[in-house]
Structure 1
Amino acid sequence: MAIRPYVLLSAAVSVDGRLDDTARERLVLSNRRDLDRVDRERAAADAILVGATTLRRDNPRLLVTSAERRARRIASGKPEHPLKVTVTGSAELDARGAFWHCGGEKLVFTVDGALSRVRRILGTLAGIVSTGPALDWPLLLDELGRRGVERLLVEGGGTIHTQLLAQNLADELHFVVAPLLVGEAAAPTFLAPAQYPGGSTARMKLLEARPIDDVVLLRYAPKIRS
């Protein structure tokens, strides 16, 4: 039986808990030093996962930026960039997005009802796996483990973070707070209401609290609660 990957959630939020504002251009919450820290996490990962909503909204490339880190990955026998993974239940994907046309291997997880449409949209741009009639996160993680993914970096969005935390599947959370106030009711939030393990009084273990210039990194172990 394959071992599931270590799941690391990564998010940057404003002081009022928003992942972005409602403007067309993405709101940059992290600073230069923190973005370099995220690049280190990408270089250490075997796969990077984002939801399809994040692909539509941000059009990310999800690459390792540092040439030195890419070279170290290659020297250690790894691909230059981690496997890129997305999840969709609706098949609302744009094959023209940057995600599909740079980096290395891509993988899409979907559901039975959207499988044929995903195949039609993407063709040979990515591997495609259905988890059944509904999105099955344990099955998804098992499949990544079978493919040799030992460390999975999850970069959003809020729905993905909510589901993984609610199902107690996240091993570590990197939560960066930026000194901004978005103040827009329609702006996306880090988490949605859900039944989280242990309820509202279960305290996650704090692993680290560290300022990085004008942002603060909080590292938590969500599975260790008191």
Structure 2
Amino acid sequence: MIRPHVLLSVAVSVDGYIDDRGAERFPLSNAEDFDHVDRVRAESDAILVGAATIRRDNPRLLVNSAERRAARVAAGRPEHPVKVTVTGSGDLDPTLKFWHHGGDKVVYTTDAGHAPARAAVGELADVVPIGPAIDFGALLDDLGARGVDRLMVEGGGLIHTAFLTAGLADEIRMAVAPMLIGQATAPRFVNPAEFPGGPARRFHLEEVAKLGDVAVLRYFPKA
């Protein structure tokens, strides 16, 4: 079974936060970075976010550029990538934008979360149980079987942490915004965890790009 190439995409402040403690999403990126993220989405076969991110941000997760959508269709691909979410509990709100825009949706959940997830969004998405706990390797196997070659993971911190602790991330796209958040309880890119190789392990830095006042770093963790 060929698993997808997994790209983690994140925007962080200089001090490593992905948001502040406010109720509204804190704007870290700029217009140039948003456009670049849209291009990466258009190059992907599927986009994944955790259920907590859907509840907090109510995202649509679409390719915004009409030109990029048309190019996907001209190449025989769906207009938008498959949208994927992960929930252990099955607690999903079917009224949120995620479920009503774009094309196919897939929900990965636990055995216990399967029934509530199907009750909530079974008519809007394919709900797939993958064991007593979320098995991200099994998730990638299933996506690979569905023909997904490139998976873009857009968060949040629990999801990024899970992919990195399991050694499943092939690439990290990190946009660093020129600001400091400085709130100890604000969310970070990853949570404290035991990562493969520990702190002595260094990633391969493939590329650095300047998009306005944002620096975009491209790391290959497995290289």
Q: Determine the structure 2 residue equivalent to 1:144.
A: 143
Matched, 1:38 2:31: no
Deviation track 1:162-210 (CA, whole Å, cap 9, x = no partner) reads 1101111000000111011112222111011111111111110000112
Distance 1:102 1:204 in 2: 36
Distance 1:100 1:187 in 2: 27
Distance 1:130 1:92 in 2: 14
Residue identity over aligned pairs, in percent, reads 59
Matched, 1:155 2:154: yes
The 5 A counterparts of 1:102-181 are 102-181=101-180
The alpha carbon displacement at 1:216 in A equals 0.5
Task: Give the gaps of 5 or more residues in structure 2.
Answer: none
Instruction: Tell me which amino acid in the other structure corresponds to 1:110.
Output: T
Q: Determine the structure 2 residue equivalent to 1:18.
A: 17
Instruction: Tell me which amino acid in the other structure corresponds to 2:166.
Output: Q
Q: Determine the structure 1 residue equivalent to 2:90.
A: 91
Distance 1:125 1:62 in 2: 15
The alpha carbon displacement at 1:122 in A equals 1.1
Distance 1:93 1:184 in 2: 29
Distance 1:185 1:154 in 2: 25
Instruction: Tell me which amino acid in the other structure corresponds to 1:22.
Output: R
Distance 1:209 1:82 in 2: 26
Distance 1:27 1:180 in 2: 11
- Aligned to 1:129, the other structure's residue is in SS state strand
The alpha carbon displacement at 1:22 in A equals 1.4
Q: Determine the structure 2 residue equivalent to 1:205.
A: 204
Instruction: Tell me which amino acid in the other structure corresponds to 2:104.
Output: E
- Aligned to 1:223, the other structure's residue is in SS state coil
Instruction: Tell me which amino acid in the other structure corresponds to 1:195.
Output: E
Matched, 1:56 2:55: yes
Instruction: Tell me which amino acid in the other structure corresponds to 1:128.
Output: V
Q: How many residues align?
A: 223
Q: Determine the structure 2 residue equivalent to 1:194.
A: 193
The alpha carbon displacement at 1:56 in A equals 0.8
The alpha carbon displacement at 1:123 in A equals 2.8
Distance 2:153 2:46 in 1: 8
Moved more, 176-185 or 5-14: 176-185
The TM-score with structure 2 as length reference comes to: 0.98
Deviation track 1:65-118 (CA, whole Å, cap 9, x = no partner) reads 000000000000000000000000012211110000000000000000111010
The TM-score with structure 1 as length reference comes to: 0.97
Moved more, 177-186 or 31-40: 177-186
Matched, 1:219 2:218: yes
